[in-house]
Every structure is written in C-alpha cells, then in structure tokens.
C-alpha cells in the first residue's frame, strides 16, 4: 500500500494538512445568480440597506439592491419565507427571518449572525413575520405560522405568547402591524383560506372582518394608523380608512393576483405606495392609496412577481426564479442579481473518467439538470421541466464514459439518460405511487446490471437488467423513508448492500448479503435525523465493516466486531450538520475522505479517524455535496457544491 498523504505532508499545530488548507487552490466554477425571492424588506433610514428571503437563506444589499451578499450564518433552515427589518435599524440592527421547519430566527447585528428562537419549546414553520412601526418603544414582533396561529413578543423576541382566539384558520399568509399597536392600533392577518382577521389587543384576540365579497387576500400594508391597503387573488387593491373595519376597492388588475404591497415615507412628507401583480404589473399611489397609476414591469418571459419593497425611492421586486428586478425613477426595470446566488444545487455527480472527459452533472432545486463537459468552464441545461420538481439525486454509471447511462430523481420520479446526460426520460417499470428518494448503481453495473431505488414508506425496488424491469422488495421498514443506499465495493463477490432509513422517531441502518433481496437490522438510533449518508471503503466485510455513516452532527462507524452500538465522532462543533460523506476513488492507497457540512468541507487522510476543516472561501459555508476525483497518481480534485448555488473546485 502506498504512503498516505498524512505521512508525506507537514501538519500545523491543529493536525491540519497544510497543503490541503491553501486558499490559493480554490476556484469557483459556477454561481447560479437569481432564483426565487419570496420576501423583501428595506431599512427606513435611507442607508440603502435591503434584505431578501430566498430558498438559499438571506441576502443583504447596502446599495439599494444593486449588489447582494449572502448573510445566512446561523440560519438552521435555508428556506426563508419572510424577512422583516426594524424601523429603528440604524440604531438596533434588528432583522427577523421566518423559515420553514426551523422556526423564527432573529439577528441583532444587521444580519451578520442569526439566533433561532423558540416559542415555548416549539419551533413551528413560520410563514410571516412583522416588526412594529414603533419597535424602538414597544418592542413588538408578531410571527404567523403554518398551523400554530400567531405568536407575539413584546420584548424583542426574548419570549413569546401564542394566540389563536378567534382564528378560524391557523395558517397565516400575511401580517401587517399598524402604528400605535400598543395603544389600540390594529394588526391585520390574512389566512390561507382567504379570511381577513383583525386584532386591537396586540394579537390576544382576533375578529373576522366581514366583507361584501369573498376574494381572498394575498398581502397587506399599513399607510398610517387608520389607513391600509391589501391585494387580492382576483387582482384588486382594497383600501380601509377606519383601521381595517371596512374596505373599498380602489384598483383592479383584471384577474392578475396582487402579490405584494409596500409603503415608504418620502422626504417631502408624503408617502409612496406600490403594488405588484403576479403577471408583472406595477401600480403606484401618492395619495395614500386612493388613486393609482400603472406601468408594465416585467418582460413577458414567464417571470412572476412575488413581493415588493421600496429602498430610498428605488422599487425592488422579488420574482419566481428570476431574482430581483430593480426600478428607479423613469429607468427601465432591470434585473439586479449581482451576488444573489440563490438557485440551490442539491446534488453533484462526477464522471468516473473525469480526468479524461471533464464531465460533471448537477441536480438543482429549480433549474433541472446542468451538465458541463469541460471541467466547469461551460454549462448546459439538459432537463428543465418545472412539473417534475426538484432534482434531488444524480448518479452516473460506473462505466459512464462508455455507456452514457445516468439516473436521477426529480420530484420523487426516477429519470433516466442513455446518452451521457444529454437528454432524459421518465423511467418505466415502477408503480405510479413510487416516491423515490435515493438511487444507486452497482459498482459492477456493466456486468450485472444491478441497481437499487429507495423511497418513502420503506419502498425498495431492484433491477438486475440495467433498469429494464424492476421488482419490489419488502425492506421491513414500513413507515420509514430511505435516506441512503450503498453498495459494497466488492459487490461482485460479496453481494453486500447497506441502507439507512428514518421516520419521525428513529434512524435505522439495515444490511443485505444477497444483493438486496432480504434485509436485517444493523443499528438503530432513537432519534429523528432527517438525512443520512453512507460511504463504504474497499476493506469492507459484510456484517463487520468498516463503513462511515454521516447523520446529524456525527460520523459513526461500526465497532471492529460489527456488533453493538456504533461509536460516533463529532467532526465539527456541536450542531454542525453532516450532509454527505464520500471517499476517494483511490481510498485504499490515500485514505482520503471528505464530508460536506453546514460549516464547510471537512477532510480526513486517516481513513476517517481524524478530521479538519478546509480553510478558504468555503470555511463556515453550508456545503450540500462534495466529491473527490483522482486526476493522476499525485493529484486529487475536490468539488464542493454549496446549497445556495455555487460550485467550487480544489486541486492539489
């Protein structure tokens, strides 16, 4: 066996490979700018500071939306649904972010760091958040949730009270707080069923606003203590002048849903009010919403406006998939996505013959499948069907350079390519109810045609004829979802496979020694981990190991006997998520392993016994996937995909 890197390279005092920590060796290959922007909030201090909520975290601009920077450090979930800024931002630097699954986060240092908050031990999905216009005096923050109603804090987020009295629907889709909320000012809340609710006691109780129509509300904003405007699904703007009790229609977009409204005080004492529709129309008012003028906003390229905000007279519009559109004065509206890298990459597959063909394939959240055949210099989209859903997994045949076979999972459907990932079709032979999560090829796929698909509710399908036909296998994991599948590198001889599956209460690792026909439990954890990754080295022996399991914030391995609890190693600080673990193709000689984490890429050249974080631009970043390629006997390349939409390469 050749000497490992550990024996040949000097280490610093932290046992980190100096050569692997050089900043100079990182190169960014791809940055997917734009993406879906679901919420925009601007500081009112005329500093030009704005924040956007995206599927890749929060981004900030300090020049009225011309350039953006990611500021997601500390956000547990990247799926941010709403963002709000303190009206006293210049002094207190407070920003709030509503996230899916992981609850409400707040920053007290202008977004540099985020703290996840608890609502009496609960962290529900928060759909909307609003900060009081009098926040410097009353400290009020209101959060609307998906199923838990409304939570209110009167001490800047330190503690919360949940209120549902009078809420006919607890799924909140819009919230707006009037000035003077602590002295009887109103809070408006819209629900997913279209109900408009009103509270005059800081959210303790709610009353339904009775209107002459049943047109559901999409958005609302206060102009002053008594006057507010709201946008509806049918494309109307409604206005109230009595604190939300009665509403009149003041403008119509003829069926084009009004998705966002915003208000900004102007230097002359007036107010600019704007509204955007899904079809790309912009309406504005300078008489507190009584009369409106309209202009086309977005080109007819399918982009849909989702939200709007105003930053020192500059109108910023968030769109579906196309990022931010910026409109200043009489200038033509234009995309403003510099630095807004928010089109998430979900998976990466590197050709086994990468040194020869330079091929990489990416699965993305909203952009389908992207392929490069020149080591990332250029990219083409080879699957872009929004109806399929996100491409969560991409795998290439071990003989990809010869057979051109690739598989993927898009929205739970298996997609298939036989021409080098140039075109894709839905794979047949699977039941219509199949909801796939993971897909893997046998390491000797060219000879045995074996592959496996695991999905929800213990679903497992096997094929031994290159995907022509499939058979369903009972895994014994009814109610659990497959999270990871792995073949033994010696599958041609030992027929061994390992899988990880989980549900709301547990994570289970199971094993098979007959090519997946029967399975037995190996180890079980009494906790819900949500994701898992497996990597099996060439020295693997069935029922014994070794192998690496990445789950939650640990890397676990079986004991030397293969029996009993698996020791878990905390590779990074507590709470750092281990997203994926992978091994070098030459692991038997170089002992090199890498793990993608929410804190960057961690590397081991001791077969996973010792780990250290790689320095450079990815340190502290949320890395979704990592891959190691062997260029030649003395050169290794690491590709790392950031969840928000960047691909990086490190070469040594």
What dihedral do alpha carbons 25, 29, 34, 36 form, nearest 10°? -90
Please report the pLDDT score of residue 213 as a whole number: 78
Q: How confident is the model at residue 7 (pLDDT cuts 50, 70, 90)?
A: very low
DSSP single-letter state for residue 183: G
Please report the pLDDT score of residue 440 as a whole number: 98
- Angle (nearest 5°) at CA 86 between 80 and 88: 160
User: Is 287 exposed, middle or buried, given 0-12, 13-18 or 19+ CB atoms closer than 10 A?
Assistant: exposed
What are 574's strand-pairing partners? none
Name the one residue in this structure whose structure tokens are 């000097």.
Answer: 10
Cβ(202)–Cβ(183) under 8 Å? no
Please report the pLDDT score of residue 1 as a whole number: 31
Chain-wide mean pLDDT for the chain?
A: 91
What dihedral do alpha carbons 490, 492, 496, 497 form, nearest 10°? 90
User: Alpha-carbon distance 379 to 385, whole Å?
Assistant: 17
Please report the pLDDT score of residue 212 as a whole number: 67
Average pLDDT over residues 81-99: 97
Handedness of CA 449, 451, 596, 554 (dihedral sign): negative
User: Alpha-carbon distance 334 to 337, whole Å?
Assistant: 9
Q: How confident is the model at residue 12 (pLDDT cuts 50, 70, 90)?
A: very low
Please report the pLDDT score of residue 22 as a whole number: 57
Average pLDDT over residues 57-82: 93
User: Alpha-carbon distance 410 to 267, whole Å?
Assistant: 50
Domains belonging to the chain, first-starting first, are 5-30+342-651 (2.130.10.10), 37-263 (2.130.10.10)
Whether the pLDDT of residue 14 is over 60: the answer is: no
Percent of the chain scored above 90 by pLDDT? 76
Question: Where do the DSSP E strands lie in 357-515?
Answer: 360-364, 369-372, 380-383, 391-396, 406-410, 413-417, 425-426, 436-441, 451-455, 459-463, 471-474, 481-487, 497-502, 507-512
Average pLDDT over residues 319-336: 89
pTM listed for this prediction: 0.89
Please report the pLDDT score of residue 96 as a whole number: 98
Cβ(548)–Cβ(534) under 8 Å? yes
Please report the pLDDT score of residue 10 as a whole number: 36
- Reference 376, options 365, 360, 354, 364; nearest CA is 360
C-alpha separations of 136 from 89, 156, 224, 262, 311 in Å: 9, 9, 17, 21, 20
Average pLDDT over residues 155-168: 89
Residue 448's H or E segment, with its range, is helix 445-448
Please report the pLDDT score of residue 11 as a whole number: 36
Please report the pLDDT score of residue 46 as a whole number: 84
For every residue of 489-540, which 3-state class applies, written as one string?
A: CCHHHHCCEEEEEECCCCEEEEEECCCCCCCEEEEEECCCCCCCEEECCCCC
Percent of the chain scored above 70 by pLDDT? 94
Whether the pLDDT of residue 136 is over 70: the answer is: yes
Whether the pLDDT of residue 114 is over 70: the answer is: yes
User: Alpha-carbon distance 329 to 348, whole Å?
Assistant: 43
Cβ(467)–Cβ(484) under 8 Å? no
pLDDT for 482-530, tens place per residue? Answer: 999 999 999 999 999 999 999 878 899 999 999 999 999 999 988 766 7
- Angle (nearest 5°) at CA 586 between 584 and 587: 65
- List of residues 6+ apart from 647 with CB closer than 8 A: 28, 29, 30, 345, 348, 360, 362, 376, 639, 640, 641
Whether the pLDDT of residue 302 is over 70: the answer is: no
Question: Where do the DSSP E strands lie in 55-163?
Answer: 57-61, 69-70, 80-85, 95-99, 103-107, 115-116, 126-131, 141-145, 150-153, 161-163
Question: Where do the DSSP E strands lie in 321-383?
Answer: 324-328, 334-335, 345-350, 360-364, 369-372, 380-383
- Reference 512, options 535, 489, 487; nearest CA is 487
State whether residue 81 is helix, strand or coil: strand
% helix / strand / coil in the chain, to the nearest 5?
5, 45, 50
DSSP single-letter state for residue 332: P
Residue 232's H or E segment, with its range, is strand 228-232
Cβ(555)–Cβ(606) under 8 Å? no
pLDDT for 201-246, tens place per residue? Answer: 999 999 999 876 788 899 999 999 999 999 999 999 999 999 999 9
C-alpha separations of 453 from 237, 408, 430, 528, 629 in Å: 49, 10, 10, 22, 25
Cβ(533)–Cβ(578) under 8 Å? yes
Please report the pLDDT score of residue 477 as a whole number: 82
- Reference 486, options 433, 538, 416; nearest CA is 538
Average pLDDT over residues 33-48: 94
What would the two tokens of residue 651 be? 């070469």
What would the two tokens of residue 528 be? 């819900």
Whether the pLDDT of residue 307 is over 70: the answer is: yes
- Angle (nearest 5°) at CA 87 between 317 and 225: 90
Q: How confident is the model at residue 123 (pLDDT cuts 50, 70, 90)?
A: confident
Whether the pLDDT of residue 433 is over 80: the answer is: no
What dihedral do alpha carbons 86, 91, 92, 96 form, nearest 10°? 30
Average pLDDT over residues 556-560: 94
User: Alpha-carbon distance 138 to 203, whole Å?
Assistant: 14
Average pLDDT over residues 463-484: 90
State whether residue 388 is helix, strand or coil: coil
Please report the pLDDT score of residue 171 as a whole number: 87
Sheet containing 314-319: which strands, arranged edge to edge?
305-311, 314-319, 324-328, 334-335
Whether the pLDDT of residue 186 is over 90: the answer is: yes
Average pLDDT over residues 386-414: 94
Cβ(237)–Cβ(250) under 8 Å? yes
For residue 546, whether the previous peptide bond is cis, meaning omega lies within 30 degrees of 0, is: yes
Q: How confident is the model at residue 298 (pLDDT cuts 50, 70, 90)?
A: low
Whether the pLDDT of residue 4 is over 50: the answer is: no
Please report the pLDDT score of residue 646 as a whole number: 97
Cβ(376)–Cβ(649) under 8 Å? yes
């Amino acid at each position: 066996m050749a000497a490992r890197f550990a024996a040949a390279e000097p280490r610093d005092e932290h046992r980190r490979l100096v050569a692997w920590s050089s900043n100079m060796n990182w190169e960014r290959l791809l940055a997917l700018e734009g993406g879906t922007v679901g919420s925009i909030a601007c500081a009112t201090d005329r500093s030009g500071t704005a924040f956007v909520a995206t599927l890749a975290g929060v981004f900030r601009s300090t020049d009225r939306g011309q350039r953006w920077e990611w500021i997601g450090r500390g956000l547990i979930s990247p799926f941010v649904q709403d963002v709000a800024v303190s009206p006293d931002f210049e002094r207190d630097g407070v920003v709030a972010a509503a996230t899916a699954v992981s609850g409400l986060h707040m920053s007290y240092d202008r977004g540099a760091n985020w703290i996840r908050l608890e609502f009496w031990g609960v962290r529900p999905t928060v759909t909307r958040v609003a900060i009081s216009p009098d926040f410097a005096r009353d400290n009020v923050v209101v959060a609307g949730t998906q199923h838990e109603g409304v939570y209110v804090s009167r001490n800047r987020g330190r503690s919360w009270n949940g209120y549902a009295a009078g809420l006919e629907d607890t799924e909140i889709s819009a919230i707006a707080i009037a000035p003077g909320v602590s002295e009887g000012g109103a809070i408006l809340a819209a629900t997913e069923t279209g109900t408009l609710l009103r509270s005059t006691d800081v959210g303790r109780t709610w009353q339904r606003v009775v209107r002459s129509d049943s047109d559901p509300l999409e958005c609302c904003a206060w102009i002053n203590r008594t006057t507010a405007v709201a946008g509806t699904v049918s494309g109307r703007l409604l206005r109230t002048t009595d604190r939300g009790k009665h509403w009149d229609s003041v403008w119509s977009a003829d069926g084009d849903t009004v998705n966002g409204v915003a208000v900004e005080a102007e230097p002359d004492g007036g107010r600019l009010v704007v509204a955007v529709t899904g079809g790309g129309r912009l309406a504005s008012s300078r008489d507190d919403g009584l009369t409106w003028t309209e202009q086309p906003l977005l080109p007819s390229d399918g982009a849909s406006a989702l939200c709007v905000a105003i930053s020192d007279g500059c109108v910023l519009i968030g769109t579906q998939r196309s990022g931010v559109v910026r409109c200043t004065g009489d200038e033509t509206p234009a995309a403003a996505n510099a630095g807004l890298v928010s089109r998430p990459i979900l998976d990466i597959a590197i050709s086994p013959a990468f040194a020869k063909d330079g091929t990489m394939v990416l699965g993305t959240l909203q952009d389908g499948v992207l392929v490069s055949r020149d080591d990332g210099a250029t990219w083409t989209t080879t699957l872009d069907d929004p109806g399929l859903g996100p491409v969560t997994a991409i795998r290439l045949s071990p003989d990809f350079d010869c057979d051109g076979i690739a598989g993927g999972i898009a929205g739970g459907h298996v997609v298939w390519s036989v021409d080098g990932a140039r075109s894709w079709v839905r794979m047949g032979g699977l039941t219509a109810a199949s909801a796939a999560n993971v897909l893997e090829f046998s390491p000797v796929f060219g000879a045995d045609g074996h592959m496996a698909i695991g999905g929800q509710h213990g679903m497992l399908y096997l094929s031994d004829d290159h995907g022509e036909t499939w058979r369903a296998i009972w895994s014994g994991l009814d109610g659990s979802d497959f999270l990871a599948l792995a073949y033994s590198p010696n599958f041609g001889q030992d027929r061994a496979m390992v899988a990880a599956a989980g549900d709301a209460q547990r994570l289970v690792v199971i094993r098979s020694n007959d090519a997946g026909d029967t399975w037995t439990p190996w180890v079980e954890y009494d906790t819900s981990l949500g994701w898992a990754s497996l990597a099996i080295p060439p020295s693997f022996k069935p029922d014994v190991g070794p192998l690496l399991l990445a789950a939650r914030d640990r890397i676990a391995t079986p004991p030397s006997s293969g029996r009993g609890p698996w020791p878990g190693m905390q590779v990074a600080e507590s709470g750092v998520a281990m997203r994926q673990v992978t091994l070098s193709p030459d692991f038997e000689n170089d002992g090199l392993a890498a793990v993608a984490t929410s804190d960057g890429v961690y590397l081991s050249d001791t077969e996973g016994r010792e780990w250290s974080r790689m320095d450079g631009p990815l340190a502290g970043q949320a890395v979704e996937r990592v891959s190691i390629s062997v260029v030649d006997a003395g050169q290794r390349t690491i590709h790392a995909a950031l969840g928000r939409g960047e691909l990086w390469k490190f070469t040594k």
